[in-house]
């Protein structure tokens, strides 16, 4: 009986070890494919969910996982700390075995990323623009030339989502008294749309949150297909 118990324990240990090895290999394979697809300088981190892993691998269907990308540039806008959660993932076992994962159907993709205010200002194309948080809104500051003099104007701003883009809508100019025509022209320059319609995996922007570090953007897509450019 003692030998039987020891044998069963050994089998369990070996099964767990094999499960962890297979999980690590699958995560590495998917991370390599994503790095190739998105042309990333650094390989992302992939963490698949669900246990035991081998049971999922044999079925080709996974509960989900998380992809963490340190930095990704989309439409000249830099996204930092991009965290993508995948739910209802399908990867045939044969593709994993021969390291040929070319597409990964996913039922639901949700992602969050941080856009620093410096990167957001650069993406608007407004020279000298500075953006900083002010409560739930933003504060914009930019140089304006009036009567041969350059002054810096300050305006409050709101951010909204429209047509897959972040739209910055400036409010009343403060701090420097300007004629209404000049003030309106300044507001027109400060108002900008920052496109975000080429997010990975077909995600579209759903909402945002003003934080001290930058705008935290949330996006999602349904029934997406992750494709890779592996040979």
Angle, CA of 213, 214 and 215, to the nearest 5°: 145
Rounded CA separation 218/35 (Å): 21
Mind listing the pLDDT tens digit of every residue in the chain (231 residues)?
A: 333 222 222 323 333 345 556 667 667 777 777 777 777 788 888 887 766 666 777 777 777 788 899 888 887 788 999 999 988 887 776 665 555 666 778 889 999 999 999 998 888 888 888 888 988 888 888 777 767 677 777 777 788 887 767 777 766 666 666 666 666 666 666 667 677 777 888 888 888 899 999 999 999 989 887 765 544
Picking from 85, 91, 117, the residue whose alpha carbon sits closest to that of residue 103 is: 91
Asked whether the beta carbons of 142 and 128 are under 8 A apart, the reply is: yes
**Using CB atoms within 10 A of its CB, is residue 19 exposed (0-12), middle (13-18) or buried (19+)?**
middle
**Domain boundaries of the chain, sorted by first residue:** 2-114+203-227, 118-195
State the pTM of this model. 0.75
> What pLDDT was estimated at residue 2?
30
């Amino acid at each position: 009986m003692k030998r039987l118990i020891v044998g069963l324990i050994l089998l369990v240990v070996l099964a767990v070890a094999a499960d962890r090895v297979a999980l690590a290999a699958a995560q590495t394979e998917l991370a390599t494919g994503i790095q190739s697809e998105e042309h990333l300088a650094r390989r992302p981190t992939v963490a698949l969910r669900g246990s035991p892993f081998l049971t999922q691998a044999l079925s080709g269907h996974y509960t989900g996982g998380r992809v963490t990308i340190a930095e990704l540039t989309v439409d000249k806008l830099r996204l930092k700390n991009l965290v993508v959660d995948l739910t209802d993932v399908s990867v045939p076992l044969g593709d994993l075995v021969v390291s040929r994962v070319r597409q990964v159907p996913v039922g639901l993709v949700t992602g969050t990323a941080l856009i620093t205010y410096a990167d957001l200002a650069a993406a608007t194309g407004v020279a000298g623009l500075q953006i900083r948080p002010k409560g739930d809104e933003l504060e914009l500051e930019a140089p304006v030339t009036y009567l041969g003099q350059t002054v810096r104007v300050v305006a409050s701003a709101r951010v909204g989502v429209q047509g897959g883009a972040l739209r910055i809508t400036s409010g009343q100019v403060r701090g420097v008294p300007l004629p209404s025509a000049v003030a309106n022209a300044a507001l027109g320059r400060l108002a900008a749309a920052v496109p975000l319609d080429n997010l990975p995996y077909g995600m579209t922007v759903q909402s945002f949150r003003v934080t001290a570090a930058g705008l935290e953007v949330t996006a999602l897509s349904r029934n997406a297909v992750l494709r890779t450019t592996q040979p």
